[in-house]
Structure 1
């Protein structure tokens, strides 16, 4: 292999994001990559940027297939597919194993292993921070719409019935976004990740307070 691992993984990942929706497309992969490298640069320990970059580009290549019901677990599928792609490019087994672990451990689902390496923890944190702050709120809203808009299901409601006094709904509401974001901030592994998460938490607190203040501003009618 003569090409650097990060750019190589970017090139290999692009076709797998062609059918992705906005919350998990190639732009998301790039933001996670950039954020992971930023966190790595703030670490006191040495970070393998090539492993981290490659894993970030490849971490969600299975998302479109999972969304369409072709696979059950995009983490596990993505790790296997990444191994196939990288082996064909003569990437070393040690590098492939490191990247596979990062991919397998980047999710918060119960079936995912805990991240053991620093690179895996940085990827996990970068991916979770991508679901917080201003951009994260937009992404989470996209995910709610993506999940609730599938055939046979109803869309989530915007209003939080506990705040607006509206009749309770059986469907997800705005409170779900807050829960998802806070869950991700609570799970961060690294000191740089937690430092970056603090102002994002502050922004989200202000956002949701403003959201609550706007409920019912038009009154009854």
Structure 2
């Protein structure tokens, strides 16, 4: 192929992100790409960086279609779509299989297969790390907003609804963000990923403390 697998995957993936919402757009894919390669640099095992880069660019190309209900599983769809695209690019069969596995195994969903290759584990970790730290806070807030107000669902609750009095069982979004992040950080596979995750979690803890301070009615702030 005329250019590296990772570079070509970037070019091929760009049109798929045109209708993406902010939490899963091309900038998310780029951050996942960059962090995945950063983790690869710190990992003791040999990593096929081109496979990892390609999988990072492709990993969320199905999100826009999943969002509008045209597909059910963006992982499986991306794996099939990326394979079809790369088969026309003279990519070796073993690399095609490696990219496909990484895409199928990158989600935290219960029905997702376990990542078994180092490239799949690094992609998984990099994707989950984009839900931690300063960027993670913004991304998860975007996701809360995306899901807010859908048919049969309630609008976003930033603060604790119980402070209004009466029966308000809704969990405030800040608690959801804390739970979502911790769930992802607890699922990481690699030591470099866990190390970066705990650093980002430390920042989030400071944020959560400040959030609680600002929303405490007794502080007067």
Give the TM-score, by structure 2 length: 0.94
Shift of 1:173: 2.6
Q: Could you give the per-residue CA deviations for residues 45-89 of structure 1, whole angstroms, max 9, x where no partner exists?
A: 111100000000000000000011111100011100001100111
Q: Which residue of 1 aligns with 2:58?
A: 58
Show structure 1 runs of 5+ residues with no match: none
Q: Is this contact kept in 2: 1:60–1:78, CA < 8 A? A: yes
Checking the alignment, whether the CA contact within 8 Å between 2:102 and 2:123 is kept in structure 1 is: yes
3-state SS of 2:153 partner: coil
The structural deviation recorded for 1:155 is 1.4
| 2:135 aligned partner | 135
Is the CA contact (8 Å cut-off) linking 2:160 and 2:171 kept in structure 1?
no
1:177 aligns with 2:174: no
TM-superposed deviation, 1:218: 8.1
CA contact (8 A) 1:30 1:57 kept: yes
Match for residue 82 of structure 2? 82
Q: Residue 173 and residue 64 in structure 1: after superposition, are their counterparts in 2 closer, same or farther (change >3 A)?
A: same
Q: Which secondary structure state, in structure 1, belongs to the residue aligned with residue 157 of structure 2?
A: coil
| TM-fit CA distance, 1:170 | 3.6
| Distance (whole Å) between structure 1 residues aligned to residue 136 and residue 219 of structure 2 | 30
Question: How many correspondences in the alignment?
Answer: 219
Q: Which runs of 5+ in 2 are unaligned?
A: none
Alignment of 1:35-184 (within 5 A): 35-161=35-161, 164=163, 166-167=165-166, 168-170=168-170, 173-184=173-184
Distance, in Å, in 2 between the alignment partners of 1:165 and 1:136 is 28
CA contact (8 A) 2:17 2:64 kept: yes
- Stretch moving more, 15-24 or 204-213: 204-213
1:207 shift after superposition: 0.8
- Closer/same/farther in 2, CA of residues 130 and 20 from structure 1, 3 Å limit: same
C-alpha distance in 2, partners of 1:194/1:183? 12
Q: 1:174 Cα deviation (Å)?
A: 1.8
User: How far does residue 217 in structure 1 lie from its aligned partner after superposition?
Assistant: 4.5
Q: Which residue is equivalent to 1:214?
A: 214
Q: Is the 8 A contact 2:161 2:171 kept in 1?
A: no
Q: Could you tell me how far 1:116 is from its partner in structure 2?
A: 0.2
Deviation digits for residues 108-163 of structure 1, max 9, x if unmatched? 0011001000000000000000000111011001011111233453312001246x
Query: 1:172 offset after TM fit, Å?
Result: 5.4
Give the Cα separation in 2 of the matches to 1:166 and 1:64.
Answer: 39
TM-score (norm 1): 0.94
User: 1 CA distance for matches of 2:130 and 2:39?
Assistant: 13
